[in-house]
Structure 1
Amino acid sequence: MNKLLPLAIASALLAGCASSNGLVAEGSRRDPATLSAGKSLGNAKVSDAAWPSERWWAAFGDPQLDGLIDEALAASPALDAADARTRKAIAQAGLADAARKPSLGAGAQVLGLQIPETLAGPDLGGDFSVAELLTLNFKYNPDFWGADKAKWQAALGNARAAEVDAQAARLQLAANIVRAYVALAQAFDAQDAANAEAARSDALVKLNQQRIKAGLDNTIALNQNQSASAAARQQAQAAQQQIDALRNALAALVGAGPDRGLEIARPMLATPDVAVPSQLPSDLLARRADIVAARWRVEAAQHGIDASKAAFYPTINLSMMVGLAAGNLGDLFGSDALLVNGGPALTLPIFEGGRLRNQLMGSNADYDLAVANYNQSLLGAIREVADAVQGARALDAQLASTRIARDTAAKAYAAVAQRHRAGLANQLDVLAAQKPLLQLDQQLAALNAKRRTATIDLDQALGGGIALPQSNTTAPNTTASN
């Protein structure tokens, strides 16, 4: 071994024909401190405890929703696929680690050989000979330039990224279920509003018919109200269709058949408050699955560059075979049967037709792409947080205005109803006063659904409280198992 190192160094000096000069990566990771968001989030409630918990959906206060998500996390085929991808990436890292280590194998073989007399003469040729062999084969590639280590670290980084992607799939599944559940609640509210409007229109139709019989009215108002009643029933039917479709969607999300959706009762959802953490955007680096995975892939790509650079240097392979060989089994274990073969072998890249340079160029491009994806993930994360907070803030203002309008309409309706009971207003006045109240109820239901969706968006934008393996700026010291 002492003779190998000088030989390798001398060979490296001769490798100038295969040069990596001038090939460098150009990408650089964005500093999150440069992505200011203080003014955009200035009016939002700030709290150190505002990061979502691992079961962030519990804030909606619906036990049925909690059960659906638990069921999905235990049985969804989408998660099975993500877990399988993670296991495959870990296995690939294990293969890269195994390539760095010595190997030892044993073999047994029976050889038959006959050399023609025309080639070896009558002394050696013409006879068929049989030899028995027992061998031990040893192979080891000293990683002088760190190429194998870099390949293993790159594979390990990709495995960690796949692990994070699997966690992100869980967050996405939970978010999809909550969104479908919120839409289901809105569909029930829309059905209620449509049924109420149909009942109001039917009452108007009945009054119109009475007034026509009494000679007090014509058929214009009757036809209008009959049309409104039919339209309201169509809206109620459309809402029922949406309810059925959303129940089917939820059943599929939890990994069950459509009959599971029939068991889902009407949602009973609260509307959580929103707040942003005090450490934005820097803490997103450790909490957002896409950012953490992107950082792992940047590190993996950097190790890929290291491996490509190491390929410009010579490689030394050590191999040895020790065994026993004899013409018959009785002589196999004799002292004269020892067979030894082996030694170092050196491979020196001189002229590669541009293969090594193009390989390094590709590794540099992979790194630049990984950095660009990381920067894009960081920008997207900040934007999603800002969109969710600003959306929730705007919806809170709309909800407040709509509630004031609804309270005013309710007072007007109550006043007309009281006048009707006192004989100072007729039933037409009451039904006319009811219309804006029903319309505002429908608007409130839609705004509440949007406001709950904004909460989902914010919880997801803040990472969903999932535990993520963190990346390092240095090589991980975790070793893969054999």
Structure 2
Amino acid sequence: MQSPIGKRNVSLAFLALSIIIAGCADTQGIAPQSRALPPASLDAGAAVRAAAASARWPESDWWRAYGDAQLNTLIETAEAGSPTLAAARARVREAAAFAQAAAGALAPQVNGNLSVTRQHWPDNVYYGPGPLADTNTWNNTGALSLSYGLDLWGRDEHAAERALDAAQARALDARAAQLELEVNIVRTYVELSKQYALVDIATTTLARQRQLVELARKRLAGGIGTQLDLSQAEAPLPEYERQLDALREQIALAHNELAALAGKGPGAGDALLRPTLQLNADAALPSTLPAELIGHRPDVVAARWSVAGQARGIEVARAAFYPNVDLIASLGGFAVSTSMLQFLHAANGGWSAGPALSLPIFNGGTLRAQLGAASAGYDEAVEHYNATLVTALKQVADAIVRVRSLATQAQDAERSADLAERSFRLSETGFRRGLSDYVNVIVSETRWLDAQQRVAQIRAERLAAYASLMSALGGGLAVPSDGPGDASLVPARRLSSLDALVHGEAPRAHEAKGHE
């Protein structure tokens, strides 16, 4: 026969459990609304489908395809000394430290404190006659405390996972910053190469124009030319000289820019030689595009980690709705005596141990607001990821369109330059023989100069377009598995069954299936 005391304990336990369950705040009506886009659902477009496919993604040192040793050294120097990259790496270390601190909450916590003080007691001023009157004593305290959170609903576990996801996202942000630095250096270096090519064209044009001026003088002196011909030949010289000065200015500015990108002073730019870029690499696409784009773009992978972190944040906010149980224990001693170590005697010690329970009952909607904020943050992270994925695929398509267009434009520009040169040669010959005036020479020379500059511009744009394609493909992120899996992008909803019990309803079918 069961004792009355046993029945009473069972009743009290049941009553306590009922109060706990009833006291849990209501989570109904608060849930994320956004879903991450599957990459396969995005149409890559005609440009990407028409591009030749290869089985390779960019190498981590993709810029070596340009075949310029100075460029290789410049990027290696920049990656080692760039303040921007150093700051990005510091943010990674900071996030890793936060993750380590969050993980520490899962382990038992042991703390100790010791107080050793010397005190003189007054003589019957406040306390009246007694053994401590007008004496000096040691008032010493020592204690050890132990606490361990049972984490019944996974709050601390999800908080640690969220912090780790944030650290992963920071690491990918640092890789994205590195890729941006590499691309910026390549583009500036290509621009420097173009300016040198334009200087060559401008120098040749100026020298040729001076020869024509000399010819016009000789024709005037020989009586077969006119002062107008000489004036027309001299007129372009100041402008050609100005253009040459402007190009040299651009070269100096590019040197300074490259030095700054490398984390150096302008003096480092002065030592740079003329680029020797030669791009023989093709612009083929990997055969697995776009399915594996999410594993190769640093910004896309970072966005996925952010979504995963926000999903864990929802679980942290949801766990706050339920009772929290900690196991606590303490051991210590206290003594007021003339002996300094008296507090260490067993007679002066005490201990305590047991569970500590806390639960929300009335909180003015604070917990619901926190869960609502976490859900909204998750939706924002998902939409940011979706936008990043769409932008990534657009950039790949844009780069392919650009590369293909520039290949055709280069052929057209070179043919136009050949025809412009032929026209100039004919007009120059006619002028030398006195068969035509100098106006024809000016017109044909201007057309040839413009055609040569367009060729140099298009060649430089093709070099830059290759860098844009490498950037769009992720620039050599070597381990696609570094990204979070699809299951990590949705809240785990570990508490769905408990929600249903609290509110007297069965879990919805899609929740039970989607979050097993």
Equivalent of 1:313, from 322, 336, 339? Answer: 322
Equivalent of 1:471, from 484, 489, 493? Answer: 484
TM-score (norm 1): 0.88
Tell me: CA distance 1:379–1:124, structure 2 relative to 1, closer, same or farther (3 Å): farther
Deviations 1:249-295 (A, max 9, x none): 10111111111111111111113321111111111100000000000
Q: Structure 2: which amino acid aligns with 1:321?
A: S
- In the alignment, which residue of structure 1 is the partner of 2:66? 60
Q: Secondary structure at the match of 1:281?
A: coil
Deviations 1:182-227 (A, max 9, x none): 0000001111111122122222222333333444444444333323
Q: Check whether the contact 1:381–1:461 (CA below 8 A) recurs between aligned residues.
A: yes
Q: Structure 1: which amino acid aligns with 2:299?
A: D
- In the alignment, which residue of structure 2 is the partner of 1:176? 184
Q: Structure 2: which amino acid aligns with 1:355?
A: T
Between the aligned residues of both structures, percent identity stands at: 35
Q: Structure 1: which amino acid aligns with 2:55?
A: D
Correspondence 1:26-41 to 2 at 5 A: 26-41=33-48
Q: Which runs of 5+ in 1 are unaligned?
A: 477-482
- In the alignment, which residue of structure 1 is the partner of 2:162? 154
- In the alignment, which residue of structure 1 is the partner of 2:5? none
1:259 has 2:272 as partner? no
- In the alignment, which residue of structure 2 is the partner of 1:101? 107
1:133 has 2:141 as partner? yes
- In the alignment, which residue of structure 2 is the partner of 1:389? 400
Q: Structure 1: which amino acid aligns with 2:387?
A: Q
Tell me: CA distance 1:7–1:317, structure 2 relative to 1, closer, same or farther (3 Å): farther
CA distance in 1 between partners of 2:95 and 2:172 (Å): 12
Tell me: CA distance 1:204–1:389, structure 2 relative to 1, closer, same or farther (3 Å): same
Structure 1 residue 106: Cα displacement? 2.4
Q: Structure 1: which amino acid aligns with 2:257?
A: A
Q: Check whether the contact 1:8–1:314 (CA below 8 A) recurs between aligned residues.
A: no
Deviations 1:151-204 (A, max 9, x none): 111111000000111111111111111000000000011111111221222222
CA distance in 1 between partners of 2:234 and 2:431 (Å): 24
1:356 has 2:364 as partner? no
CA distance in 2 between partners of 1:181 and 1:171 (Å): 15
TM-score (norm 2): 0.83
Q: Check whether the contact 1:196–1:438 (CA below 8 A) recurs between aligned residues.
A: no
Q: Secondary structure at the match of 1:137?
A: strand
Tell me: CA distance 1:82–1:44, structure 2 relative to 1, closer, same or farther (3 Å): same
Q: Check whether the contact 1:323–1:338 (CA below 8 A) recurs between aligned residues.
A: yes
Q: Secondary structure at the match of 1:204?
A: helix
Aligned residues: 470
Structure 1 residue 475: Cα displacement? 5.9
Q: Check whether the contact 1:200–1:431 (CA below 8 A) recurs between aligned residues.
A: no
- In the alignment, which residue of structure 1 is the partner of 2:91? 85
- In the alignment, which residue of structure 1 is the partner of 2:197? 189
Tell me: CA distance 1:125–1:144, structure 2 relative to 1, closer, same or farther (3 Å): farther
Tell me: CA distance 1:344–1:118, structure 2 relative to 1, closer, same or farther (3 Å): farther
Tell me: CA distance 1:308–1:126, structure 2 relative to 1, closer, same or farther (3 Å): farther
Q: Structure 2: which amino acid aligns with 1:56?
A: W
Structure 1 residue 385: Cα displacement? 0.4
Q: Check whether the contact 1:198–1:230 (CA below 8 A) recurs between aligned residues.
A: no
Deviations 1:89-138 (A, max 9, x none): 00011111112221112222236697999999878997876432332111
Tell me: CA distance 1:99–1:384, structure 2 relative to 1, closer, same or farther (3 Å): same
Q: Check whether the contact 1:413–1:433 (CA below 8 A) recurs between aligned residues.
A: yes
